[in-house]
Amino acid sequence: MTIQRSKMPSFHMAALVAGAAALATQISVLVEPESTAPVQRAAPAVPAAKIQIVEPANAQALELVLGTVGFDLKNIRRGADPVPAIHVASLPHDLGSIDQVDRKKKLFFSTVLPLVLSANDRVARDRVKLARLRDRALDGAALHDSERDWLLHLGDRYGVELSEDGVDRAFLDGLMRRVDTVPVSLALAQAAVKSGWGSSRFARNGNALFGQRAWSDDDGIVPKERTDEEGHVVRRYDSLMSSVASYIHNLNTHPSYRDFRYRRASMRAADRPLDGKRLAGGLTAYAEIGDRYVEILRTVIEKNRLAELDGALLERKIVTAAKRSS
C-alpha cells in the first residue's frame, strides 16, 4: 500500500527518520487497516499493509509529521482537504510550554480533530445500522436472531433496557437518542478547556483530555486539590483515542447529560445540523461552574471558529502513532 502524498513535502523515509531522530525520542507509527469512509459516504473497508514511520515526541517533530502527511487546518476549514487520519497516542511533552498561542492551538486541534472524527465515525456506523433495523421493526418486519442480538448488545452498551414488550418503539427510540455523534466543535472546545490546551497534568500523564472521573486511585490521577472527603480521581487512559471514545460514550449514556441528548434528538427530528454552541447548553452538569462552563465553551467555539470544522471528513487511511517503549 502507498500513502497518498499530494500537497506534501517530498521527504524520503531516510530523511524523515534522520530529521526526527535529531529532534527527539522516536515513536513508532503503524498504518492499520483502512477504515470505512464516514457513513454519509459509505465505502467498503480495504485492508492495508502495515507501514512503519517515525514520529518524534516533541512539538517541533510533531509539526514535521503533520506536514509530511499534508495536514492543513486552513484547507480543512474550507472543505478543500480531508483530515489525515493520524492517531497520536500522547500529546507532545512540551506542548504546554509553547509560548506562541496560535502555534499551540494549531498543534492541539490537529492532534485531537482526527481522533474525534474517528470516534464519531464508529458511532455513526452503528447509528446507520440501528436506524435501518428500527425502520424494519416498526414496519412490522421480523428481525433475524443475529439482528436482535446485535440490538440487545447495543442496548447493554448504551444502558437502554428492554421493556416488557421487548424490542419495541420505546427501546429503539431510546437507542436512537443515545447512539449518535458529538459535534466536532463541541468536542474540541471541551478538550481544550478541560486539558488547558493539552498542558494539564492529567492530559500529559494520563492522556485525559476531558477530565472524566473514576473512584479508585488505581484508575486515575489524584487531583492535588482533592479534599479528604472526596474520593474521585481523573481517569487515566492508555491513549488519547481511548479518552476521546470514552468522552463521547459518556455524553451518550450518563444520566447527567440527558438534556444534551434530547436537544440533539430535537435537532435530528427537525433535520438540522448538530450545533455545538446550542448543544453546549445541555452540559451544565459537566463542571461545577454550570452555566459559566457553558459560556466558556461557546466562547471557545466562537473565538476559534470551531464550527468550521463540524463538516470535516476523514481520509480513509488510518495512521496510528504509538510511543515506543524505552
For all residues of the chain together, what is the average pLDDT? 82
Pick among 1.10.10.10, 1.10.530.10, 3.40.50.1000, 1.10.150.130: CATH of 184-309: 1.10.530.10
Residues 151-198: pLDDT tens digits? 999 999 999 999 888 899 999 999 999 999 999 999 999 999 999 999
Check the CA dihedral 164-170-176-177 and report its sign. negative
User: SS3 of 37, please?
Assistant: coil
Check the CA dihedral 97-102-103-106 and report its sign. positive
**Residue 54 confidence (pLDDT) above 90:** no
Element at 105 (helix H, strand E)? helix 101-138
Q: Where are the domains of the chain?
A: 13-120+314-323, 184-309
Q: Specify whether the CB–CB gap between 184 and 277 falls below 8 A.
A: no
Residues 222-268: pLDDT tens digits? 877 766 666 788 899 999 999 999 999 999 999 999 999 999 999 99
Three cell numbers, residue 81? 482537504
Three cell numbers, residue 29? 507509527
Higher local confidence (pLDDT), 311 or 50: 311
Q: Give the residue among 135, 132, 83 at the shortest CA–CA distance from 109.
A: 83
